[in-house]
Structure 1
Amino acid sequence: MLQFLLVACLISSVLGNDSQSSRIVGGRQAARGQFPFQGSLRSARNRHFCGAVVVGDRWLLTAAHCTIGNQPYELQVVVGSVDSSTGGTTYQLRQVIEHPDFNELTLENDIALLQTIHPIVMSSYIQPIALSNNVVPAGIIATTCGWGQTEFGSGLSKMLQYMEMRTLTNQECRLRHDIQNRQRIHSTSLCTSPRAGKGTCMGDSGSPLVANSLLIGLVSWGVPCAVGKPDVFTSVAPHRAWIKYTAGV
């Protein structure tokens, strides 16, 4: 729990009083196997605190702010279950690699690779997702999922939740945020516009944003919680070369 609280406090202090690490509110419950690439990033005590995404037989992606300051032996990932309290397969990590240009203060390049010690055994419930090579335009309907809070201040969701969101231009995204948070929307960011009462929430950081069966983003940050402000993701396409070079996927 200490690790989870540190992540929450880090993002709160970085983004000001009206921003925290991201979460899902107003979603629907996922069926088993619906999102076979979804993983749960956990502490050594098996406490979920961020999402992760299977992208290869030994590799997952997550948000760098979820892993910064942690050693591989302090973390583990669980894949293959929509119920965070039971089922799935646990994998220990060989290494954690944050993007070399990740900025803890601005959350620019908020992306990290996780390598498992043993190969991930694929099944109908565990599958990698292909990565987008193209920057996503505005107006695309995308889906995000995670085990984050279902309302601000609540506990984490036991069951995996998902919801649809529409992408925005970064220019429009900046205009919808206050002056302080506009500085944290980068060329490598990807924004979505959920309706008020719907959005990501605490515990969803590092979880996927998917469109046309491709991973297009990772949950990075948002204004708590589902108050109509755009959610901000790390766009996958600008980091594609780094992922390929580092992990070969």
Structure 2
Amino acid sequence: MTQSIAVSEETLEKLKKVSTATLTTQLFKRGYKQQFLVGLKPLSKSFKTFVGEAFTLRFIPAREDMDNDLGDLKTRGEKNLQWEAVEQVAEGQVLVVDSREDPRAASAGNMLVTRLMRRGASGIVTDGALRDGYELAEMPFPAYCQETTASTRPAYHRAIDMQVPIACAQVAVYPGDIIAGDQDGVVVIPRHIAEELANDSYEQELREQFLFTKIDAGAPLWGTYPPNEETLKEYEAYRKEMGV
């Protein structure tokens, strides 16, 4: 299983220092054409990036004979796989929810997201909706969704399975995949390439920061982006000067 492949803290820290744009470029170079969760946006602006291991949760449509607990809020959590998932998410993990891209009811709200944050989770990602959007926007916690809604989850969703392969925004997510996000969105990184992707992405980010300074100073695209031999020599000199 991919979860048995170790991912070091150094790798995770490097991934935190690069953008989703850089990550998708490096994934594309390796043949992964679409690992970006299109359409999902962060509610909070109080963080720059986040990284964590995927803990998956899968929803199916609700049905009246199976989801008839709306009148008994005191016991709703006792037989609820959604509650179980929240209580099993470990420190540093990201709860990734397959809501079938259906935003008519919330995948979670302020209470569950706060519990995730207090347990040390790195974030929550759903291809559906979240409720309590105003409160979540004020929290220092990565929470991504397609929409916000006031409708409660059992109106349209039933939590049916966790820690299984899921689809989120039409991207396959396996338990243990590495989830990385910034203010632009979220990328899914297959665990077995996380280390090499982190190294190459970090290098690309350093190089492009240098190239941006040249473009910003008036240099033409040709010979700068992508860099020609002369520009690469300038970059190497810059790295030595900066000690990076």
TM-score (norm 2): 0.25
The answer to which structure, 1 or 2, has the higher relative contact order (CA under 8 A, 6+ apart) is: 2
Q: Which has the higher helix share?
A: 2
Q: Which has the higher strand share?
A: 1
Higher Cα Rg: structure 1 or 2?
2
